[in-house]
Amino acid sequence: MTLTCTIDRYESNKDKTSWTFIIIPAAVAKQIHDNKKGFRVKGKLDNYAIEMVSLLPIGEGDFMMPLNQKMRKGIGKGSRGVKVNVEIELDPRVPELCEELLVCLDDEPRAKETFDGFTASHQRYFSKWIEDAKTIETKTKRLTRVIDGLSKGWDYGLVLRDGKVRE
- Give helix 109-116 / helix 99-107 axis angle, nearest 10°: 120
Contact 78, 20 (CB under 8 A): yes
Name the amino acid, one letter, at 66.
P
Question: In the chain, what are the domain boundaries?
Answer: 2-90, 99-166
**119-142 tens-digit pLDDT:** 887 898 999 999 999 999 999 999
**Can you give the pTM of this predicted structure?**
0.65
Q: What is the pLDDT of residues 34-59, one digit of tens each?
A: 878 888 899 999 999 999 898 999 98
Q: 2-90 sits in which CATH class?
A: mainly beta
CB-side neighbour CA atoms (13 Å) of 36: 3
DSSP annotation of 76 reads T
